[in-house]
Chains A and B, each alone.
Chain A
Amino acid sequence: MATYLLLIYGDEQRWQSMTPDERAEIDAGHRRFRERAGSSVLASGELEPSSTATTLRARSAGAAPSDGPSVTDGPFLESKEVVGGFYVVDVPDLDAALDLAAGLAEATHDHSGVQVQPLVDHG
């Protein structure tokens, strides 16, 4: 078995201006995912908008770690495309993970996509 992180990327503006029909289509995709994946889903979540994110990083280039991080409003990377949600699944192989991901509506909408990436197996 192998564990994969499925990151759902998309254009945040488009997600915020979805019609009820589009929303329903996305919801249906996630219900289908749940039904098919069953107990292989280890974790999952839908993220609040990126404007609600807070980022910690070094205060400046060359700052000493003992100075502690700066705390700023906003995501680590400013981009039109953001992560809107994620799954962590434990499945036999990549084909199984891709097959699950392919059932999500976000995998076929023109502004979004699903990135499937294995987690390191620490044994």
Chain B
Amino acid sequence: MDVRDEVEAAHRADWAAVVAATARVTRDLDLAEECAQDAFAKALETWPRTGVPDLPRGWLVTVAGNRARDLLRRRAAWRRALPLLVVDDVAPGPDALDEPPVVPDDTLRLVFTCCHPALARDAQVALTLRLVCGLATADVARAFLVREATMAARLTRAKKKIAAARIPYRVPSRADLPARVGAVCEVLHLVFTAGHTAPSGERLVRTELVDAAVRHARTLRRLLPGDRQVAGLLALFLLVDARRAAREDDDGRLVLLADQDRGLWRRDQVEEGAALLAQALGGPEPHRYAVEAAIAAVHAEAPTWENTDWDEIVGLYDVLLARWPSPVVALNRAVALGLRDGPRAGLAALDAVAGESALAGYGYLSAARADFLRRLGLWAAARAAYEEALVLTANASERRFLEERLRDVEGRLV
């Protein structure tokens, strides 16, 4: 592996741990972020000469810590005027970094601070993407479809609130955990979703987001092994992500579930997900994640697209719609109905939800319509629907797929 790749790999795996460990020393997230960034820059400069250290994370934590101490000395006077991060269960001091960092706890501290209920959901997700997942501010801005300067201001405001309002830098006590874990799950779910199908850009999957979401869901699971919400969330991630390798062809074109090579699905992830799902469903009132994971499990266990249990899938969407109604769930249910009862029934079901203003400008609605129209041989209408879907789709992989379908439909029109 190229040294550059090694640094990138370390960035993916260790960014959050480096920020989290450094924040214990700096007691200031802004400064911790800056020092972590400096440490990775230093790695890029040093590792080609010295080789990659045996313990890259330890090296990075040490370098970031030294940088932090250096800056703290220089800025001592200026910093006295600023509120410091509330770090109560670790004695902060120059030696704090010399002990090996307790990774899960340290990173979790960061996750729970970023997802504190006193922060707006947008701010929680933005902070998590920047500080925990290590996305550059420009990339976070892209995920939210806002300008980089706007996102930079939003991140700064959020970090200022953490400092000024003294949002503590800690994992909540066991008594408070159940109330706090919901926000973390929701943020991880948003991170996963943004990574599973990137809203824009060249790549279909942003693996660094998906992997970060899975990793932190696993850490939550270790912390709360009996929590059915967490079990459902991790089950959902694993079952959906099991299809990753089959979701794009060699030309970087989206492959629909119907056409995927099921041999490429990660059976180990399916099995692990199914076991977690059993726990998540084993009790009253399953969480939304568990119901969504159950849908993914039905697909995962179907030997072929044709042998998928559509009755079961429609039934699960009915449960979702009854308990957590949303236009997107209604759309997905309509699609499932069409796959069970045929394209004509699917089109009728889509028409019934198409009036939702929240779905105006939603490319998947047009794409679903286009597919049913194509199956019915209504070529002209299918072409119009594919063209509409293309206008509304920004991801290159999805666009390549839609363009191919459009060409196919146009060929039939001649």
Where chain B touches its partner, the secondary structure class is loop
CA distance A118 to B166 in the complex (A): 8
Binds B, one of A6-14, A44-52, A67-75, A91-99: A91-99
Q: Is the CB of B168 within 8 A of A95?
A: yes
Q: Is the CB of A123 within 8 A of B80?
A: yes
Q: Is the CB of B88 within 8 A of A94?
A: no
Residue of A nearest to B118 (CB): A94
Instruction: Kindly list chain A residues whose C-beta atoms are within 8 Å of the C-beta of B176.
Output: 95
Q: Is the CB of A94 within 8 A of B167?
A: yes
Where chain A touches its partner, the secondary structure class is mixed
Asked if B278 is at the interface of the complex by the 8 Å CB criterion, the answer is no
CA distance A95 to B166 in the complex (A): 8
Asked if A78 is at the interface of the complex by the 8 Å CB criterion, the answer is no
Residue of A nearest to B172 (CB): A95
Residue of B nearest to A119 (CB): B164
Q: Is the CB of A92 within 8 A of B88?
A: yes
B42-91 contacts to A, CB under 8 A, are 80-81, 83, 86, 88
Q: Is the CB of A121 within 8 A of B83?
A: yes
Asked if A2 is at the interface of the complex by the 8 Å CB criterion, the answer is yes
Q: Chain A 95-123, CB within 8 Å of chain B: the 1/0 string?
A: 10010000000000000000001100101
Instruction: Kindly list chain A residues whose C-beta atoms are within 8 Å of the C-beta of B116.
Output: 94
CA distance A92 to B167 in the complex (A): 10
Instruction: Kindly list chain B residues whose C-beta atoms are within 8 Å of the C-beta of A98.
Output: 118
Q: Is the CB of B118 within 8 A of A2?
A: no
Chain B contributes a number of interface residues (CB within 8 A of A) equal to: 14
* Cβ distance A55 to chain B, nearest Cβ, rounded Å: 28
Residue of A nearest to B179 (CB): A102
Q: Is the CB of A118 within 8 A of B165?
A: yes
CA distance A123 to B83 in the complex (A): 9
Instruction: Kindly list chain A residues whose C-beta atoms are within 8 Å of the C-beta of B165.
Output: 94, 117-118
Instruction: Kindly list chain A residues whose C-beta atoms are within 8 Å of the C-beta of B166.
Output: 2, 92-94, 118
Looking at B86, B166, B172, B176, which has the most chain A CB atoms within 10 Å of its CB? B166
* Cβ distance B105 to chain A, nearest Cβ, rounded Å: 17
Which one of A2, A93, A123 contacts B81 once the chains associate, using CB atoms below 8 Å? A123
CA distance A59 to B176 in the complex (A): 51
Residue of A nearest to B162 (CB): A94
CA distance A95 to B113 in the complex (A): 11
Residue of B nearest to A117 (CB): B165
Instruction: Kindly list chain A residues whose C-beta atoms are within 8 Å of the C-beta of B118.
Output: 94, 98
Instruction: Kindly list chain B residues whose C-beta atoms are within 8 Å of the C-beta of A93.
Output: 86, 88, 166-168
CA distance A93 to B116 in the complex (A): 13
CA distance A93 to B176 in the complex (A): 15
Q: Is the CB of A94 within 8 A of B83?
A: no
Residue of B nearest to A98 (CB): B118
Looking at B81, B165, B172, which has the most chain A CB atoms within 10 Å of its CB? B165
Instruction: Kindly list chain A residues whose C-beta atoms are within 8 Å of the C-beta of B86.
Output: 2, 92-94
CA distance A45 to B122 in the complex (A): 35
CA distance A95 to B168 in the complex (A): 7
CA distance A99 to B83 in the complex (A): 21
CA distance A114 to B118 in the complex (A): 13
* Cβ distance B354 to chain A, nearest Cβ, rounded Å: 36
* Cβ distance A102 to chain B, nearest Cβ, rounded Å: 10
Residue of A nearest to B116 (CB): A94
Instruction: Kindly list chain A residues whose C-beta atoms are within 8 Å of the C-beta of B168.
Output: 92-95
* Cβ distance B120 to chain A, nearest Cβ, rounded Å: 15
CA distance A121 to B86 in the complex (A): 14
Instruction: Kindly list chain A residues whose C-beta atoms are within 8 Å of the C-beta of B164.
Output: 118
Instruction: Kindly list chain B residues whose C-beta atoms are within 8 Å of the C-beta of A92.
Output: 86, 88, 166, 168
CA distance A89 to B368 in the complex (A): 56
CA distance A117 to B80 in the complex (A): 21
* Cβ distance B165 to chain A, nearest Cβ, rounded Å: 5
CA distance A98 to B83 in the complex (A): 19
CA distance A93 to B86 in the complex (A): 7
* Cβ distance B392 to chain A, nearest Cβ, rounded Å: 39
* Cβ distance B82 to chain A, nearest Cβ, rounded Å: 9
Instruction: Kindly list chain B residues whose C-beta atoms are within 8 Å of the C-beta of A121.
Output: 83
Instruction: Kindly list chain A residues whose C-beta atoms are within 8 Å of the C-beta of B80.
Output: 123
> A92-B168, A123-B80 given. 11 additional CB < 8 A pairs?
A2-B83, A2-B86, A2-B166, A92-B88, A94-B86, A94-B116, A94-B118, A95-B168, A98-B118, A117-B165, A118-B164
A-B contacts, 9 of them at CB < 8 A, read A92-B86, A93-B86, A93-B167, A94-B116, A94-B166, A94-B167, A117-B165, A118-B164, A118-B165
In the A-B complex, the 3 residue pairs with the smallest Cβ-Cβ separation, listed nearest first, are: A93-B168, A2-B166, A93-B86
